[in-house]
């Protein structure tokens, strides 16, 4: 019955290894998270370049070591402030806290003569205490962070002044010498000062906290949206309290390092520090942005301010002039950054669509079969479940004749045999269920756009099989997520072959993929035994319907915009596809087996001369998407479609159309069952059923795959 | 040098179908009478409504009555007007017949063959003089498809005196489609594609109409403007894409061009716009469409004061003529092949 497919004699389909396009690379880079810190980074580069141009030997090893030595305490305080800002607060008391912690360290070391680890502990405790006071008032009591920390700033400064005046003489006259104390203050490890390593370790820990730990995520969630965080079950008040305490501890560490290095404090210690670190933070974050734990960004901002300040003072400018220029430069950096952030999404939106010239070839093999050349055969179809199913992209029949279809609202419906009149919910999946198939055990495997591959048992249990595949090597964008699983079929060994129609657009925007005309899709496989997902063939042009050939050895894949049907040899998948059929008159969607050894091909829409011409003009399409409202974009005609009957060798032998204003105006799927053809359409709300003249009245789809009669 | 100092006068923005022109279903709700291939309308001296129907002119005594054949010609009727007891009939191929109120030919009017490409509208200035609108395209040309992509102003306004030769009143008009006389008797010409109404000197009197203009008719206290379709942002955009349009014109039959259309029919080989995709088989009324039914009512200053519409899901598109008859506003829909009683005239 089935015709042997002469695979080697079919023409090869060229599949690009990768898609290289400057516009795409720009768009992909713009959509990366790290682009947020682009402007601070560029600012840092500019500052470094400026310093290089105006000084000699600034970036020599000795000076860099020197810079690193003094950077530690400021850098740590910036990180402390980041933690507080991330939770949605602010801490003005960091400068006073810093001075107080340094004093506590000196007091414990010189007066109390405690061992150095105990001194460290005391400093951290001092910092934590002030943080806890802030956290208690601002977090637990809910007073304003600004007022609270202003209060603690003044109070702590007062305490510090009293304490330091009382003890300063004794501290400075102390003769205690300790190796560990001096090692922390002056020694270098791997050529860099100990303090700098402390900064690096704390930075990594804070980074890990924000990225990987529960409390870090809670801090970001509370900062991002306090109300939502509370609704999400996060203990908001204690999270804020914790953030202040943590910030206090980091400031305490900073004060300890300062004390070990300087061995003294002065009345001006830590004065103005809060404004210095606030500036660094604002430059790094591009403003006061709660809910963002961008450690690298704020360190870049800190480095910018620190080097700028240091270089200007080194150059011998007057202090007030340095302040004036710093202010002006920071305002410029911030202005550019704010503009960039504001327009980044606009820039991304205008570069994301990247059309290319595309030619689907002329229509072939349709003589006498076009809609205006034949009688509309679908006019005779019965209409089932009219108005009860919203967008049945695929229809599926089990051996008993029950019909299944997915709908736009994420349900899988069952229409019971024999009359298929009522639609009942089999399962709620979510996403947008598209292609369906029955596996050997009689379970439904569904491609769900926005979710991936899902398996549904006949009692409605839903299991996600896969939603990710391997990342392709040469792409800036992370393409591991399966964005638009479209259709599938199951091989004799149980391997599920399915298509991810486009890696670049979601189900709401799949039309843009047509306007782009690039090979954005891929054929994937999922092995239920190993639970492994593989990319069988990347860079296909909107691969859509998948059908295992009657011989069980080949796989048919519809390439929708290419208006062609590709064929893979399952034994040699790596050889790539060949073209079984090209020059279709419309956009092929699902493919399914016919009882006579041929195949049914659904056409979701029809080509027309003007649109084919527009596909050869990428610039027109790109400008159109910029200047014309989306509703007015020129598009493929998805208002008319039909079904083609293809024989086993890949020749179109018949075509089924409805009248142009008929109920089955576009078809995305069809299944033959006991001499009848069931038809579904992704924009329709009904299912058609057409009695076939020359079909085997006993043929059923599942038995053609898995054999036997149930 | 002077161009630097010349102020760049910006065109006023085109009107949208909002406000006074907000969407409505008046054309779809109107009573309709089927007529085979209707195009032009006028009211005869005896009070009957004359409607062109292919090569014939039908007369209607009262709304709902069976129309009777009033006159027959060899070529399709392309224009009708009445004045001073006479009826002028424009015929495809650029010829003219003038009849008296009973339908008998009236002597002395001759339009030399070949002097105009078409007569798409006419108006009597007096019993002895008639104004003819020549859109510049022959009867077999699909004017709607072509006008958007043709920059050449080949239309003209012709004056023809009884027992005299035609004289050109205005030349170099871009696709004029209708003529009406204002209260002072001077001519107003509607331009299809430029969407404006001009006087014979070419001066724009009002511009930016949201449609492709058909015939302009005077009512008791203003005008009505029949629109063959509505403006489309895609077509406006493609006017800037010269290379693409040149290839479209060179390779593709005009039937398939992106252009305003006279009929809302579905066909597998027509382009559509993204928003026009059907859902559950239905066209959304707000969907973009290349055909549309739009009749604009205007005051004396040619500002719109109201409209009657048939939206994307309607079928009474391509309104090509309108007139006031027995106090009612009558319009012709070319797409549905009907004359429509839109309502009481303002």
DSSP letter assigned to residue A700: B
Distances (CA, A) of A380 to A388, A531, A591, A688, B289: 21, 45, 22, 9, 29
How far is B337 from chain A, CA to nearest CA, in Å?
Answer: 18
Using one digit for the tens of pLDDT, what is the confidence trace for A474-497?
Answer: 888 888 999 999 999 999 999 999
pLDDT at residue number B338: 93
In a domain, B6, yes or no: no
Greatest distance between any 2 Cα atoms in chain A: 110
Assess whether pLDDT exceeds 90 at residue A330: no
Q: Is residue B8 part of a domain?
A: no
Nearest Cα residue to A435 out of A566, A591, A560, A568? A591
Query: Scanning every residue of chain A, which has its alpha carbon at the shortest distance from the alpha carbon of B241?
Result: A620
Q: Would the pLDDT of B140 be above 80? A: no
Q: Is B126 part of a structural domain of the chain?
A: yes
Tell which residue, A252, A251, A245, A247, has the closest CA to residue A119. Answer: A252
Is B218 contained in some domain? yes
Residues of chain A found within 8 Å of residue B278, distances taken between Cβ atoms: 638-639, 665-666, 683
Of A485 and A286, the structure prediction assigns the larger pLDDT to: A485
Q: Which residues of B touch A632 (CB under 8 A)?
A: 232-234, 237, 273-275, 288
Q: What is the DSSP letter of A230?
A: H
B12 within a domain of the structure (yes/no): no
pLDDT at residue B1 is higher than 60: no
- Are the CB atoms for B162 and B84 separated by under 8 Å? no
**Is the pLDDT at A405 greater than 90, yes or no?**
yes
* Residue B138 contacts A where some CB pair is shorter than 8 Å: no
Facing B269 at nearest CB: one of A608, A613, A627: A608
Q: How confident is the model at residue A396 (pLDDT cuts 50, 70, 90)?
A: very high
Select the residue of A370, A630, A665 nearest B278 (Cβ to Cβ): A665
Average pLDDT over residues B241-248: 92
- Between chain A and chain B, the number of residue pairs with CB atoms below 8 A apart is 121
Q: Which residues of A touch B251 (CB under 8 A)?
A: 609, 613
Shortest Cα distance from B264 to chain A (angstroms)? 11
Number of domains in chain B: 1
Contact with chain B for residue A697, Cβ under 8 A: no
Q: Output the pLDDT for position A710.
A: 39
Query: Mutating which of B235, B236, B253, B272 best tests the A interface, going by the most A Cβ atoms within 10 A?
Result: B272
Q: How far is B314 from chain A (nearest CA, A)?
A: 13
Q: Does A409 touch chain B (CB under 8 A)?
A: no
Range A144-160 average pLDDT? 93
Instruction: Round to whole Å and give the CA distance between A278 and A465.
Output: 48
Q: Nearest CB to A683: which of B269, B277, B287?
A: B277
A647 interfacial to chain B (CB closer than 8 Å): no
Show residues of chain B in contact with A661, CB under 8 Å: 266, 281
pLDDT in the model for residue B221: 86
Average the pLDDT over B278-282 and give the result. 88
Residue A657's DSSP bridge partners are A642
Please state, in angstroms and rounded to a whole number, the distance separating the CA atoms of residues B56 and B53: 5
List the domain range (segments joined by +) for residue B212: 21-344
Question: Domains in chain A and their CATH numbers?
Answer: 61-269 (no CATH), 369-705 (2.120.10.30)
Q: Which residues of A touch B263 (CB under 8 A)?
A: none
Residue B275 sits at the chain A interface (C-beta within 8 Å): yes
pLDDT score for B11: 62
Express as a percent the part of chain B with pLDDT over 90. Answer: 61
For residue B235, the Cα-to-chain-centroid distance in whole angstroms is 19
Alpha-carbon distance A668 to nearest alpha carbon in chain B (angstroms):
13
Element (H, E) at A653: strand A652-657
- Give the chain A residue whose CA is nearest to the CA of B235: A632
Residues facing A357 on adjacent strands: none
Q: How confident is the model at residue A40 (pLDDT cuts 50, 70, 90)?
A: confident
Strand partners, B324: B329
The answer to whether residue B5 is domain-embedded is: no
pLDDT tens-digit readout, B68-115: 999 999 999 999 999 888 999 999 988 899 999 888 888 888 888 888
Distance, in Å, from the CA atom of B168 to the CA atom of A483, rounded to the nearest integer, reads 65
Confidence check: pLDDT of A643 > 90 = yes
Rounded to the nearest integer, the mean pLDDT of chain A is: 90
Q: Quick check: B170 and B189 in contact, CB under 8 A?
A: yes
Distance, C-alpha A386 to centroid of its chain: 38
For A444, the 3-state DSSP assignment is strand
B66 has a pLDDT exceeding 70? yes
CA dihedral (A277, A278, A279, A284) in degrees, to 10, reads: 90
% of chain A surpassing 70 pLDDT: 99
Q: Is the pLDDT of residue B346 over 80?
A: no
> Which tens digits make up the pLDDT trace of A540-595?
999 999 999 999 999 999 999 999 999 999 999 988 999 999 999 999 999 999 99
Listed in order, strand segments (DSSP E) in A390-495 are: 395-397, 403-406, 411-415, 423-428, 432-438, 444-449, 452-456, 462-466, 485-490
> What pLDDT, on a 0 to 100 scale, did the predictor assign at position A2?
56
- Report, as an integer, the average pLDDT of A391-413: 92
| Residue closest to B303 by CA, chosen among B232, B220, B205 | B205
Segment A192-237, tens digit of pLDDT: 889 999 999 999 999 999 999 999 999 999 999 999 999 999 999 9
Q: Is B272 within 8 Å of A613 when comparing Cβ atoms?
A: no
- Cβ contact, residue pair B266, A610, below 8 Å: no
Nearest to A525 by CA among A474, A476, A465: A465
| Residue among B238, B267, B278 minimizing CB distance to A683 | B278
Distance from CA of A472 to the nearest CA of B (A): 32
How large is the ipTM? 0.87
CB contact under 8 A, A585 and B268: yes
Distance (Å) from the C-alpha of residue B339 to the closest C-alpha of chain A?
24
CATH code (residue B73): 2.120.10.30
> Both tokens of residue B244?
């693409």
Contact call for A637 and B268, based on CB within 8 A = yes
B288: which chain A residues are within 8 Å (Cβ-Cβ)? Answer: 631-632
Contact with chain A for residue B251, Cβ under 8 A: yes
């Amino acid at each position: 019955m089935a015709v042997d497919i002469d695979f080697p004699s079919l023409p090869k389909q060229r599949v690009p290894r990768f898609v290289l396009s400057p516009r795409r690379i720009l768009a992909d880079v713009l959509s990366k998270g790290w682009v947020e810190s682009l402007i601070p980074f560029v600012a840092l580069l500019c500052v470094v370049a400026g310093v290089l141009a105006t000084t000699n030997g600034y970036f020599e090893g000795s000076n860099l070591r020197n810079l690193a030595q003094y950077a530690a305490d400021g850098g740590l305080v910036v990180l402390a402030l980041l933690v507080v800002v991330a939770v949605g607060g602010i801490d003005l008391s960091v400068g006073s806290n810093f001075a107080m912690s340094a004093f506590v360290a000196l007091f414990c070391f010189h007066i109390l003569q405690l061992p150095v680890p105990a001194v460290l502990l005391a400093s951290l405790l001092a910092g934590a205490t002030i943080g806890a006071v802030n956290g208690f008032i601002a977090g637990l009591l809910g007073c304003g962070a600004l007022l609270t920390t202003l209060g603690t700033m003044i109070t702590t400064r007062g305490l510090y002044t009293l304490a330091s005046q009382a003890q300063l003489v004794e501290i400075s006259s102390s003769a205690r010498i300790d190796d560990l104390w001096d090692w922390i203050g002056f020694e270098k490890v791997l050529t860099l000062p100990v303090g700098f390593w402390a900064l690096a370790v704390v930075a990594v820990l804070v980074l890990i906290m924000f990225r990987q730990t529960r409390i870090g995520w809670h801090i970001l969630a509370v900062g991002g949206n306090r109300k939502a965080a509370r609704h999400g079950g996060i203990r908001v008040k204690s999270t804020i309290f914790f953030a202040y305490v943590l910030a206090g501890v980091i400031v305490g560490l900073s004060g300890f390092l300062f004390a070990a290095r300087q061995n003294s404090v002065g009345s001006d210690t830590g004065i103005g520090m809060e404004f210095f670190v606030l500036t660094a933070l604002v430059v790094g974050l591009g403003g006061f942005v709660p809910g963002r734990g961008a450690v690298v960004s704020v360190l870049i901002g800190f480095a910018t301010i620190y080097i700028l300040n240091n270089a200007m003072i080194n150059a011998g400018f007057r202090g007030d002039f340095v302040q004036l220029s710093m202010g002006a430069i920071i305002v410029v950096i911030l202005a550019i950054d704010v503009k960039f952030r504001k327009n980044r999404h606009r820039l991304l939106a205008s570069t994301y669509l990247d059309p290319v010239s595309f030619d689907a070839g002329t229509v072939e093999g349709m003589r006498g079969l076009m809609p205006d050349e034949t009688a509309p055969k679908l006019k005779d179809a019965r209409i089932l479940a009219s108005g009860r199913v919203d967008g049945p992209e695929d229809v599926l029949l089990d051996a008993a004749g029950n019909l299944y279809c997915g709908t736009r609202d994420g349900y899988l419906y069952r229409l019971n045999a024999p009359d298929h009149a009522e639609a009942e919910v089999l399962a709620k999946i979510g996403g947008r269920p598209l292609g369906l198939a029955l596996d050997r055990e009689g379970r439904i495997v569904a491609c769900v756009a926005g979710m991936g591959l899902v398996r549904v048992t006949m009692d409605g249990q839903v299991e996600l099989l896969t939603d990710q595949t391997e990342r392709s090597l040469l792409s800036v964008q992370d393409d591991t997520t399966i964005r638009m699983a479209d259709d599938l079929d199951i091989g004799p060994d149980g391997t599920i072959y399915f298509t991810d129609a486009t890696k670049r657009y979601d189900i709401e925007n799949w039309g843009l993929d047509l306007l782009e005309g690039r090979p954005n899709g891929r054929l994937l496989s999922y092995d239920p035994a190993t639970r492994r997902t593989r990319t069988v063939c990347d860079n296909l042009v909107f691969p859509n319907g998948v059908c295992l050939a009657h011989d069980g050895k080949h796989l048919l894949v519809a390439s929708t915009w290419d208006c062609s049907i590709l064929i893979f040899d399952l034994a040699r998948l790596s050889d790539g596809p060949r073209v079984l059929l090209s020059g279709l008159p419309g956009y092929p969607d699902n493919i399914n087996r016919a009882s006579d050894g041929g195949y049914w091909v659904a056409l979701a829409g029809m080509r027309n001369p003007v649109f084919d011409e527009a596909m050869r003009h990428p610039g027109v399409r790109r400008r159109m998407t910029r200047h014309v409202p989306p509703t007015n974009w020129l598009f493929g005609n998805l208002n008319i479609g039909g079904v083609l009957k293809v024989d086993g060798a890949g020749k179109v032998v018949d075509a089924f159309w409805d009248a142009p204003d008929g109920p089955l105006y576009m078809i995305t799927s069809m299944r033959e069952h006991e001499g009848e053809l069931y038809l579904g359409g992704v924009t329709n709300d009904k299912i058609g059923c057409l009695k076939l003249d020359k079909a085997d009245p006993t043929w059923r789809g599942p038995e053609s795959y898995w054999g036997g009669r149930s | 040098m002077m161009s630097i100092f010349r102020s760049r006068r910006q065109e006023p923005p085109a009107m949208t179908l909002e406000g006074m022109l907000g969407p409505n279903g008046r054309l779809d709700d109107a009573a309709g009478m089927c007529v085979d291939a209707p195009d032009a309308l006028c009211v005869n001296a005896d009070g009957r409504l004359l409607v062109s129907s292919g090569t014939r002119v039908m007369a209607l005594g009262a709304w709902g009555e069976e129309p009777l054949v009033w006159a027959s010609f060899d070529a399709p009727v392309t224009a009708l007007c009445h004045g001073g007891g006479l009826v002028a009939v424009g015929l495809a191929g650029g010829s003219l017949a003038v009849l008296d109120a009973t339908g008998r030919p009236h002597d002395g009017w001759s339009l030399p063959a070949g002097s105009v490409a078409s007569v798409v509208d006419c108006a009597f200035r007096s019993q002895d003089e008639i104004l003819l609108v020549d859109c510049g395209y022959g009867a077999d040309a699909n004017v709607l498809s072509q006008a958007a992509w043709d920059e050449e102003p080949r239309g003209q306004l012709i004056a023809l005196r009884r027992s005299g030769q035609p004289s050109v009143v205005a030349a170099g008009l871009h696709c004029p489609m209708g003529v009406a006389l204002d209260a002072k008797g001077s001519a107003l010409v509607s331009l299809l594609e430029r969407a404006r109404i001009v006087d014979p000197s070419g001066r724009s009197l009002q511009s930016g109409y949201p449609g492709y203009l058909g015939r302009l008719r005077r009512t008791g206290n203003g005008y009505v403007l029949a629109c063959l379709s509505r403006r489309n942002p895609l077509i406006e955009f493609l006017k800037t894409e010269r290379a693409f349009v040149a290839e479209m014109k060179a390779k593709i039959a005009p039937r398939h061009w992106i252009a305003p259309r006279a009929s809302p029919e579905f066909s597998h080989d027509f382009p559509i716009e993204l928003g026009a995709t059907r859902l559950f088989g239905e066209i959304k009324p707000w969907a973009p469409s290349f055909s549309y039914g739009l009749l604009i009512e205007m005051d004396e200053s040619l500002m719109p004061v109201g409209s009657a519409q048939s939206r994307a899901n309607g079928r009474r598109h391509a309104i090509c003529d309108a007139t006031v008859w027995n106090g009612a506003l009558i319009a012709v829909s070319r797409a549905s092949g009907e004359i429509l009683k839109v309502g009481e005239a303002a």
